[in-house]
Amino acid sequence: MDTSHSRAARAPKDREATKRRLIAAVGRVLARQGFRAVGVNTVAREAGVDKVLIYRYFDGLPGLVAAFSREGDFWPDVDELAGGDRQAFLALSFTERMVAASRNYLRAIRSRPLTQEILSWRFLEHNELTEALDTTRAEVGQDFLELVATGVALPPVDLTAFRALIGAAIHHLVVRELHEPNFAGLPLDNPASWDRLEAMIGRIIRGALGPE
């Protein structure tokens, strides 16, 4: 019996399975211990594989972390930010696109406990691993910004500063939810508080960008 052919056919599947184990291991270590604990030995041990595979499959730890941020459902993708229907999203005015996108982003981050934990650590750490995560987030953000700007005139405001403020507010709120039941008089463990926050973000966006 020729077993060499069987081994060759199995190899790609084994490779993909090992890559998935390593990507999942990164998420578990990050959530449990934060960025300081993410090392080649720790991740390999968590995945139950030889550390040499991190270099073979990902060219090192930063490449593995980047793969985690792209493939591990860490950030919402463009379709999720658009509400799952690009055609309906593009039928909105620019202002309403921004309202919808901010709402969808807030909900997406809140539905990802691991992302919330990692964002919490991200406020404390800056290294080549956090840069890998930030790069992926920036790539998704750029793709989404191109969609938001499709077929409409942009308002005469500093959109970079505007997006920074809205994004910072969302990140701060979802991280505070992890650690405090109340913030600024709002019970963050109450869904009604998040309805109020979504409504206020919408009012801020419409006030800054105008109705059209």
Domain boundaries, the chain: 3-71, 78-209
pTM recorded for the entire structure: 0.80
Quick one: tokens of 134? 């930030």
Per residue in 7-65, pLDDT (tens digit) is 444 556 688 899 999 999 988 888 788 777 888 999 999 999 999 999 999 999 988 98
Per residue in 68-110, pLDDT (tens digit) is 887 767 788 889 999 999 999 999 999 999 999 999 999 999 9
The total number of residues written for the chain in this structure: 212
Quick one: tokens of 173? 């709120």
Distance CA 66, CA 92 (A): 33
DSSP assigned state of 184: T
At the top level of CATH, the class of 3-71 is: mainly alpha
